[in-house]
Every structure is written in C-alpha cells, then in structure tokens.
C-alpha cells in the first residue's frame, strides 16, 4: 500500500525560506518512510500570506485525489496578522476542517490540526507589540483546538515549544521570522507519530 498525505496551510506548511525537503510535510514523509511506510511525496496546498478564505478557495479550485490517507491543517496566522475578526476565523476554520475531513474519507484520526506558531517571539516582531501578538495567537489557538475537538480530530500544540526557541538563530530561517528546518523537524516528529499510530492501531 502506498500512503498519500495532503498538507493544507500557509507559509508554515510550504516552509517559507527553507528548502522544500526541510518543510514539515516533507520531513514527516521522510520519517514515515524510515519507519517502513511506503509514502508518496506530500501534496501541499499552501502559499505564503494565505488567510483561511484563500486556502478554502484554493482547495475548491484544485483537482485533488478522491481521498488521502492523511491530512494536516495549519492556518490562521495571516488572519491574526491582518486583524480579521475572530468570528470569521471560526466559521472559515470549521469549513476547512469539514473539507479536510472529506479528503480523508471522514476519518477524524487521519487529520491532524497544528496550532499556530507565535511569530511574536521572533526577532522580526521586536517592534510589533509581541505581547499583543501572543494574546491574539492564544485566542486563535483556543478556537483551533475547540474546533478540532468538536470534529474529534487530532490537535498538536507546537506553539508552546516554538515559543521557547523561536528567538534562537538555529530555529529561524534567514528572514528572522519563519522557522528553520530544525524547528520543522520537531513538528514532523509529532505529526508522523500521530499518522503512524493510526496505521499501527486502526480504528
């Protein structure tokens, strides 16, 4: 069996400023292959700067496989950055979860929701009210987790540990904003573990 993985998101999913092999979807697939799973390269629908409405539009317009074995969703930082309403985000995020679930044949354990990183801890945000960013990211992530729980999908909080090292050069890309491959490796370890658990313990 060959496994197919759909990764949905924004700059954090494509791995802005890093080699594609260092993005967390590609590192996730590499870890699963090392564990003996026959995995296709990840199919990624993500672009730097996308908010929830833009991701939804892209999913609607893409010709995708009928179903995937795994999917991940990481979206919302640009909603926060652009000052969009929380109510709009909740509505859009729920729609995106429904769309993602449809792509994994309605199996919630095959869909992983990642929390939104806190860009306020990066050097880029020194003069951009990092405490305000932190509090708003917390609100967005509360919604992400609540909606994931509602649909009984897996929620992975990567924000807590990202906040600890998000100011360190080794964990940052050259723009001093986006993560490096080292940071993405931590996310990939948790995402791949969640996916492999569903393979080893189906149902």
DSSP, residue by residue, 72-104: EEE--HHHHHTT--HHHHHHHHHHHHHHHHHHT
Beta strand pairing status for 111-114 and 154-156?
parallel
pLDDT at position 1, please?
Answer: 84
pLDDT at position 28, please?
Answer: 98
**What's the token pair of residue 102?**
């449809």
Name, in order, each residue with C-beta under 8 angstroms of 22's C-beta and a sequence gap of 6 or more.
Answer: 15, 180, 181, 184
Instruction: Measure the CA–CA gap between 121 and 119, rounded to whole angstroms.
Output: 5
> 5-200 has which fold?
Rossmann fold (3.40.50)
pLDDT at position 203, please?
Answer: 59
Helix/strand/coil for 105: coil
pLDDT at position 201, please?
Answer: 73
CB 67 within 8 A of CB 107: no
Instruction: Measure the CA–CA gap between 187 and 183, rounded to whole angstroms.
Output: 7
Mean pLDDT in order along the chain per 10 residues (203 residues)? 96 97 98 97 98 98 95 98 96 98 97 98 93 97 98 97 96 97 98 94 67
Confidence (pTM): 0.97
pLDDT at position 73, please?
Answer: 98
């Amino acid at each position: 069996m060959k496994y197919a993985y759909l990764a949905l998101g924004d700059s954090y999913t494509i791995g802005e400023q890093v080699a594609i092999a260092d993005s967390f979807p590609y590192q996730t697939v590499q870890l699963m292959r090392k564990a003996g799973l026959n995995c296709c390269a990840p199919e990624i629908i993500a672009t730097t700067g996308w908010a929830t409405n833009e991701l939804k539009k892209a999913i609607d317009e893409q010709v995708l496989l009928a179903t995937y074995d795994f999917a991940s969703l990481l979206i919302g930082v640009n909603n926060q950055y652009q000052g969009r309403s929380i109510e709009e985000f909740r509505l859009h995020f729920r729609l995106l979860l429904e769309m993602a679930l449809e792509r994994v044949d309605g199996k919630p354990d095959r869909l992983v929701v990642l929390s939104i990183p806190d860009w306020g801890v990066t050097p880029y945000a020194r003069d951009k009210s990092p405490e305000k960013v932190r509090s708003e990211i917390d609100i967005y992530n509360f919604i992400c987790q609540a909606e994931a729980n509602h649909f009984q999908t897996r929620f992975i909080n990567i924000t807590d540990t990202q906040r600890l090292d998000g100011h360190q050069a080794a964990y940052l890309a050259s723009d001093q904003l986006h993560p490096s491959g080292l940071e993405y490796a931590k996310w990939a370890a948790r995402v791949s573990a969640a996916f492999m658990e569903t393979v080893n313990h189906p149902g």
